Structure 1
Amino acid sequence: MRTQPDLLSWTLLSVRGGLASTTVEASLTTSDGVRDLFIVLNPEGELTGYHFDLTDAKASRVAADFVRSLSRGHFISARSFLSLPLQEELTTATLQSRWMQLQRSTGNFVRVVRVIEASQSDDSQLVLVNTEFNRLTDNLFVILNSNNEITGVDFPQDPNPPQKAPAPAR
C-alpha cells in the first residue's frame, strides 16, 4: 500500500449484480492521475478479484469480438476464435446451446460493458468480459493462449437467484 500513489478522491461508477458475482466500477483520482478500478465480489460480498483498467489490447479485442459474435447469433464466427483443440470439443451447436442457456438465466444480451485484461502469464491471458443482459450484468471469463486463440470460456452454469434486499434499519 505504501508504494501506491495517494488517493485524493473517488467516484463510484456502477454496481452490477451478476449470476455468481457483483461487479463494482470506480474512478480513483490519485497523486499519479485518474485510474479506473474494477472489483469483483462473490455472493457473500467478499473480494474475489480486482483490476485497474488497462488500454484495450489485442487479447481483449478478441474476447470482446467473440462475445459480440455470440450475441448476434453468429456461432460459426464465434467458434473461429477458439483454439483448434477447443473447437473439437465445442461444436457450433454446443456453443449455441450454452449461450442460449446463459440467456435463459440472464435475459437477452444488451451490450458488452467493459473488457478487462485480468491476468497474464507467458502462455495465457485471462480476460473478463463484463456483459449486460436485460435482467442482470455478469462477467464472462475468457482464457486466451499466447497466439490470442481462446482456450477456455466460463459460461456460468449454476446461477445464484436474485435475493431480497434486507429491510432498512429503523
Structure 2
Amino acid sequence: MNTTACVLALALCGPIASVMPSAKSQATNLEQVDARPMTVAQAAVAPSTTLTAAQATKAAQQLLDALQAKDAAGLYAGLSAPLRSTSSEAAVQDRLNRGPKLNGYRINSISRGIDDTTVEAVALLNGGKQEAPLLLVLDDTGKLVAWKWIGKTLPIEQSAINFVKDLDAERWVAARYYLDLDFQKEIGPQDLKRKWSKLARTLGGVKEIKSALVASQGGDQQLVLVTIQFGKVTDNLFVIFNRDGRIINVDFSADLV
C-alpha cells in the first residue's frame, strides 16, 4: 500500500554484518524459486500491482546477483528513484566492501500485493553453511523500495508490529496509544475500527503479521512497512512515524476503505 506522504530512504551505509542472523544450515538448491501465481481470489482484489511474478523474480535475481558480485552499479541501478536520490554508487560500494561474501542465494516466495511485491529470499554465506533470510519489497516497476535481514527487529519496527497486532485483535483504544497526539485528534477508536475492519474484510482477513522493515529512519518522517498475509493477498501496510517514534499517518488505502 503506497502513500504520497512517504519519503523513502535506505540506510545503505550501515554494516550488513551487524544485523546478520547466525542460524546455520546446509544449502540445497540455489536455483529454487517459488514464484506463486495469483489465485482467483487475489485477482478479485483491485487494484493490484502490475508487476508479474516472473518480473519480480527477475528483478530480485538481478538485485541478489549484484549483492553477491559486490556490484555497486548494478545494485544502485535496481533502487527505486527515491532511494537513489538519497544515496550514491560510492556509498553502496562502501557498504558492499564491508559486508560478507555471498556464496549464493535462493528465492523462496514472491507475494504480489496491492501496489508492491514482497520477496522472501535466503542468502548463503560461509561456503553455503550459513543461511541468512532477507525480505525485499519491490515497487510496480521492479525497483527496490526497502529490504532487511530477517532476525533483528528495531524498536520502531516492533512498535509498528504491535500497532497492527492491536488492530487485528480489535483493541482500538490500545492501538491509538501509538499515535501522535495530533493524529489521535484526527482519528478516534471508531475510525480505526471502521478503516481496519473494512480493509481486513476486503482482503480476506488477516492470516499472519509476518514482519516489519524500515524504509526510512532518523528524520522527521520515518517509514515502516508491515508485511501482512491476508486471505487474498500478501501486502505491506505503510506506517509513518515522527522523530519521537509516534505514528503520524497510516496508509489504509483509500481505494479499499
TM bucket (normalised to shorter chain) is: 0.7 to 0.9
Partner residue in 2 for 1:79: 176
Aligned residues between the structures:
158
1:68 matches 2:165: yes
1:94 matches 2:191: yes
Which of 5, 11, 20 is the aligned partner of 2:115? 20
1:106 matches 2:106: no
| Conserved? CA contact 2:146–2:214, under 8 Å | no
Structure 1 residue runs of 5 or longer lacking an equivalent are 160-170
- The aligned amino acid for 1:19 is I
Overall identity of the aligned pairs, in %: 32
SS in 2 for 1:81: coil
Q: Against the structure 1 CA distance between its residues 9 and 48, is the aligned structure 2 distance closer, same or farther, given a 3 Å change threshold?
A: closer
Partner residue in 1 for 2:104: 9
SS in 2 for 1:7: coil
| Higher Cα radius of gyration | 2
Q: Against the structure 1 CA distance between its residues 105 and 20, is the aligned structure 2 distance closer, same or farther, given a 3 Å change threshold?
A: farther
Q: Which has the higher contact order (CA 8 A, sep 6+)?
A: 2
Moved more, 49-58 or 19-28: 49-58
1:150 matches 2:150: no
1:49 matches 2:145: yes
Deviations 1:112-164 (A, max 9, x none): 111112221333321110011111111001111222111111112326xxxxx
Which has more strand, going by share of residues? 1
SS in 1 for 2:111: strand
| Conserved? CA contact 1:23–1:40, under 8 Å | yes
- The aligned amino acid for 2:116 is S
| Alignment partners' CA distance in 1, 2:146 and 2:125 | 17
| Conserved? CA contact 1:35–1:52, under 8 Å | no
| Alignment partners' CA distance in 2, 1:121 and 1:147 | 9
| Alignment partners' CA distance in 2, 1:13 and 1:115 | 18
Which has more helix, going by share of residues? 2
- The aligned amino acid for 1:40 is V
Task: Kindly state the Cα deviation for residue 106 of structure 1 after the two structures are TM-superposed.
Answer: 0.8
| Conserved? CA contact 1:64–1:115, under 8 Å | yes
Deviations 1:84-116 (A, max 9, x none): 000011111111111022123211111211111
- The aligned amino acid for 1:106 is L
Task: Kindly state the Cα deviation for residue 7 of structure 1 after the two structures are TM-superposed.
Answer: 3.3
SS in 1 for 2:124: strand
SS in 2 for 1:121: coil
